[in-house]
């Protein structure tokens, strides 16, 4: 049984621009969470008179996981995904499990770690490493573009599907406002 009724689904596959749009929006929200987390832990580091960057990194990764896990498990949409009318579901259309949400996050973050490592290697080792890392990146994105449903690696490994939903014809806040105006007299 699917959680999204058939009329509310959009059968077109989700492209890279929509994915990156939602990712940009969500990354700004995660960055804000990290800033608040840093402000909370900063007094602790001052009291201890030492900064444990490993602990801070672990807290930041855990906070990012909690952000994505909570939204994906609750509604299947982060705030960025809601903006771009995207939802993540299992292959059968049901909500994703805890394991799928965690695996999707871990594979996704490892892909970004690979990109950061590639940038570092390109800076350290010059042109040939830049060409190699660029070729690997184009190959990974090209593999996604060739898949009929435009699946990325984290979709495939976690058995999840990023799908479009049809936008609401009328925003929910507008409906609530109209109900209050007609009922409140």
Q: What is the pLDDT of residues 57-84, one digit of tens each?
A: 899 999 999 999 999 999 899 999 998 9
d(CA 118, CA 16): 20
Do residues 87 and 163 lie in contact, with contact meaning Cβ atoms separated by under 8 Å?
yes
Close Cβ partners of 128 (under 8 Å, ≥ 6 residues apart): none
In the chain, domain spans: 7-169
Is 50 exceeded by the pLDDT of residue 131? yes
Burial (CB count <10 Å: 0-12, 13-18, 19+), residue 88: buried
pLDDT > 70? residue 168 = no
Q: Which residue has the higher pLDDT, 94 or 169?
A: 94
What tokens were used for 69? 């896990």
pTM for the model stands at 0.74
What would the two tokens of residue 83 be?
């903006």
Give the residue among 89, 61, 57, 68 at the shortest CA–CA distance from 23.
68
């Amino acid at each position: 049984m699917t959680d999204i009724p058939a009329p509310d689904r959009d059968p077109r596959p989700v492209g890279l621009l929509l994915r990156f749009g939602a990712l940009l929006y969500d990354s700004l929200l995660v960055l804000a969470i990290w800033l608040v987390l840093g402000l909370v832990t900063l007094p602790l580091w001052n009291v201890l008179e030492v900064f444990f960057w490993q602990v801070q990194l672990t807290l930041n990764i855990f906070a990012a996981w909690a952000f994505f896990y909570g939204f994906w498990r609750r509604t299947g949409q982060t705030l960025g995904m809601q903006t771009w009318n995207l939802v993540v579901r299992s292959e059968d259309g049901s909500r994703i499990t805890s394991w799928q949400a965690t695996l999707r996050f871990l594979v996704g973050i490892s892909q970004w770690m690979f990109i950061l490592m590639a940038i570092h290697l390109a800076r350290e080792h010059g042109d040939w490493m830049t060409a190699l890392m660029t070729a690997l990146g184009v190959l990974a994105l090209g593999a996604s573009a060739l898949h009929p449903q435009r699946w990325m690696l984290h979709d495939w490994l976690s058995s999840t599907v990023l799908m479009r939903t049809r936008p609401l014809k009328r925003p929910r806040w507008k409906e609530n406002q109209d109900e209050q105006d007609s009922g409140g007299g």
